Chain A
Amino acid sequence: AQSVTQPDIHITVSEGASLELRCNYSYGATPYLFWYVQSPGQGLQLLLKYFSGDTLVQGIKGFEAEFKRSQSSFNLRKPSVHWSDAAEYFCAVGALGAGSYQLTFGKGTKLSVIP
């Protein structure tokens, strides 16, 4: 069965600093990988996804992520963080389960931004 690990529960960065959120997955085949963002009291919004091809994928809000098969990682990056990026971020891996494709989510990383 697939699994996702987000090693950092909480990260604090200064506004304007760069950001990298870590995600490691476990899956036997080529994974479908996703990053979602959740603002407090809201649902999850898709930031970006990787299915195949170019291992560096661009998403919304200036985020990007790089798929590294050798490291089983799909880290999320942003060169300059804005205060509005404060939220919780979830990495997910998709796989075919019992009759449907399903996403398995990590436990999330909460991002705080210092002005």
Chain B
Amino acid sequence: SQTIHQWPATLVQPVGSPLSLECTVEGTSNPNLYWYRQAAGRGLQLLFYSVGIGQISSEVPQNLSASRPQDRQFILSSKKLLLSDSGFYLCAWSAQGLLYGYTFGSGTRLTVV
């Protein structure tokens, strides 16, 4: 069966420090991958999505970037964190098409101090 792993679960980082969040999917190949951010009371904001290795689409201009170095690995990064980058970050994957919807990871709570 397919599983999605996301880590770390929680992270406290100072302003100006770098960020790297990792997401990996097992049990499938060529998934579509997504990064979402969830701020309190503001729903889910799509940050990036990828339909293949090295293919990244950005939905919102911001202080973050994403990379997909391998088929089932999706990384969210920042060179210098801002206070406004605090939030709950969710990774998700889907098969081609939407037959099974998205499957989400358990999320990373990022607090920038």
Q: A41-B107, A49-B101, A108-B43 are in contact. Are A98 and B57 (CB under 8 A)?
A: yes
- Interface residue? A43 (CB, 8 A): yes
A43 touches B98 (CB 8 A): no
Contact partner of B103 (CB less than 8 A), chosen from A41, A46, A92, is: A46
Q: How far is the CA of A34 from the CA of B44 in the complex (A)?
A: 14
With a cutoff of 8 Å between Cβ atoms, the chain B residues found around residue A108 in the complex are 43-44
With a cutoff of 8 Å between Cβ atoms, the chain B residues found around residue A51 in the complex are 98-99
B43 touches A107 (CB 8 A): yes
Which residue of chain B is the closest to A108 with respect to CB atoms? B43
Q: A101-B94, A103-B98 are in contact. Are A41 and B51 (CB under 8 A)?
A: no
Taking CB atoms and an 8 Å cut-off, the chain B residues in 56-102 that contact chain A are 57, 88, 90, 92, 94, 96-102
Tell me the A residues contacting B by CB distance below 8 Å: 9, 32, 34, 36, 41-46, 49, 51, 90, 92, 94, 98-103, 105-108
